[in-house]
Amino acid sequence: MPPVSNPSEGDTRYDKDFQRLESFSRSLKQKWRISVAELAFILSFALNFAIGKLLHLYSDQSEVYNYYNDKNNIFNQYFVKKGWAWTTMVIIFFYAVVVSRRKNEPSQRVLITAIARYFAATLWWALFTQWCFGLPIMDRVFVYTGGRCVVPDGKHWAHLFEEIDGMFHSHKVSSFACRSLRGSWEGGHDPSGHVFLLVHSSLYLFFEIKPYWRGWSQFRRNIERLRGPNFPAKLVDTLNTTPQVAAIILMALWWFMLLMTNMYFHSIAEKLVGLLFGYAAIGVVYILPRWL
Ligand SMILES: CCCCC/C=C\C/C=C\C/C=C\C/C=C\CCCC(=O)SCCNC(=O)CCNC(=O)[C@H](O)C(C)(C)COP(=O)(O)OP(=O)(O)OC[C@H]1O[C@@H](n2cnc3c(N)ncnc32)[C@H](O)[C@@H]1OP(=O)(O)O
C-alpha cells in the first residue's frame, strides 16, 4: 500500500511556500516599490530575449527562417510599423469604457492623469523614434557611433551627401529618409526601434490597465460568457465589461513580434539598447513617482 500522506503536512508546506512568497512580495514593495506582477512582466522581456536567442541557435535553419523573418509580413507592416497608433486606439477605447462605466463617480481626475501619462509616453516614443530636435534619438546613437546612410545616387541632395568612391554617404539623414531613398544604413550601432516600441508600448498598456484589474478568475468568467450562440453581441458585451481584453490581445501580439525580432534581427547589443530605452520612460512615469 502506498504511504498515506498527512494532509496537514502538505498544507503546512504549502502555507510555508505561500508565506515565503508573501514576504518576498512585501520586501519587494518596501525596498523597490514594485509588485511581483510588475516585476514579472518587466522581466518577461528579458526572458523573451533569451528564448529568441536560444530558438535561433538551436532550431533547424529551415524553421528559423520563415514568414515572420520577412519584413513585409502583415503583422510587421500593418501592426508594428504603426504600433503607436494601435496602442493609442486601444487606450482610448479602454478609457472610453472605464469612463462610461463610472456612472456616478466624477471621471475628470482619472481622465486628466491618463491623458498626461499618455502624452509623456507619446513624447518619449516620438523623441526616440521620430524626431528629437533633428534626428530621433535612435538615429543619433547610430550616427554618433560612426553610422551613415549610403545611397548609389545622392546628387540631388548634394548638401546632405558626400561622394566617396562613387557612392553617396550621409550622417545627416534619418533612418526613415534613408529607407525612402533606398539607401543602406551602414556601420555604427543601430538600436532596435522594434524592441524599443514593443517594450515601451506593452509596459505602457500594462501599467495603465493594472489598477482596473479584478483578477484572473473574474477575467476568465467574462471570457467564458463568450461561449454559445450570438458571438458578436457577446463580444461587444465582454469588451464593455472587460476592456482589458483589447489591451491584452495587443500585448500578446507585441510579445510575439518581439520574439520574432529577437530571433531574426539586429545584434544582441542593439536589442539590449532598444530594451533599455523601452524601460526608461516607463520607469520615470510609473515607478519613479512612488519614491517621491
Ligand atoms: C474618451 C476617453 C479617452 C481617454 C483617452 C486617454 C488617454 C489617451 C490620451 C490622448 C489621446 C488623444 C489624442 C491622440 C491623437 C492622436 C495621436 C496619434 C499618435 C499616433 O499614434 S500617430 C503615429 C502612428 N505611427 C506609428 O505608430 C509608427 C510606429 N512605428 C515606429 O515608431 C517605427 O516605425 C519603428 C520604431 C517601428 C521603426 O523601427 P525600425 O524599422 O527602424 O526598427 P528596427 O531598427 O528594429 O528594424 C530594422 C529592420 O528590421 C525589421 N524588423 C525588425 N523586427 C521585425 C519583425 N518582428 N518582423 C519583421 N521585420 C522586423 C524592420 O522592419 C526593419 O526593416 P526595414 O528597415 O527594412 O523596414
Q: β-strand 148-151 against 167-170: which pairing, if any?
A: antiparallel
Reference 83, options 171, 248, 199, 175; nearest CA is: 199
Interface confidence (ipTM) of the complex: 0.91
pTM for the model stands at: 0.91
**Contact yes or no for 190/155 (Cβ under 8 A):** no
CA of 77 to the centre of ligand 1 (A): 10
261 lines ligand 1 (CB under 6 A): yes
Band (245; pLDDT cuts 50, 70, 90): very high
User: What digits encode the pLDDT tens for the residues 97-130?
Assistant: 999 988 877 789 999 999 999 999 999 999 999 9
CA of 82 to the centre of ligand 1 (A): 4
> Looking at ligand 1, which residue's alpha carbon is closest to its atom 67?
179
For the cut 60, the answer to whether the pLDDT of residue 25 exceeds it is: yes
> Looking at ligand 1, which residue's alpha carbon is closest to its atom 65?
71
What mean pLDDT do residues 224-243 have?
88
Q: How far apart are CA 104 and CA 26, in angstroms?
A: 34
> Looking at ligand 1, which residue's alpha carbon is closest to its atom 35?
193
Q: Mutate which of 64, 78, 81 to test ligand 1's pocket (most atoms within 8 Å of Cβ)?
A: 81
